[in-house]
Amino acid sequence: MPRPLVRTWRSLGRRARFKVKVAAAIVLLTSPVWTLNLVVAFLGHSVVFPLSPYFLRQKLSAVISYVRHRPTCLAQGHPNTDVLVKRVEARHNLPRGLLAAVIQVESRGLPHRISYAGAMGPGQLMPDTARELGVNDPFDTTENVKGAATLLSAHLARFHNVRLAVAAYNAGPGAVHGRIPNNGQTPAYVAKVMHAYAALRPAPSSPARHRSPGRRATPKQTVSARGPALASSALADDTQ
């Protein structure tokens, strides 16, 4: 140790030296934690508290997946997320715009997004969930979006309700018991997704009426012409 530092150290009182030692020990002991959190924040374009002790296993798994994925990404790039989402929505028979709304809220479509909890990719799949869905590379946009669609489709089949399916996507199906769990996060999440969904889904269209000139529609014809439009309106109200 340089002499000026030695003199400074000796000039400190016993209590001050003890505090410095404790602080140094804390820094050394927590260095793996804050290093991991800073790496996640940098690579994943997210906000992570440096000393957060939560989700360490998931965040480490996400970083490892990112390192494995990066060479492939540099060589091949990523497909257009918007085009891919529309195609996957149709393939899984999802309501048009719903998967796009979920991905917009989850990650803004960023392929390398890592959350403070270790969720990965456009659909923000947790490591365990990605493995259950058969997603080998969570940062591969195509794999991730397909996995997110499979998960969302399963929630819709289970709950038969858009809001509850979105809540299950955020909090897990075990937390949804016929209503949106009031856990301080999911209600706001569902509201954001439904707002995005309302903007992204196509507007219901009413069928054109075809009548011969000079012929007045009968009451039966009027009802049949308006029926599909009313049904579409009712469906839209149910999902808002």
Q: Catalytic amino acids?
A: 106
Give the integer Cα–Cα distance in Å for 59 and 40: 7
CA 189 to chain centre: 10
Are 82 and 109 spatial neighbours (Cβ–Cβ below 8 Å)?
Answer: yes
DSSP string covering 18-85: HHHHHHHHHHHHHHHHHHHHHHHHHHHT----TT--TTHHHHHHHHHHHHHHHHHHHHH----HHHHH
Question: Six-digit token pair at 68?
Answer: 């494995």
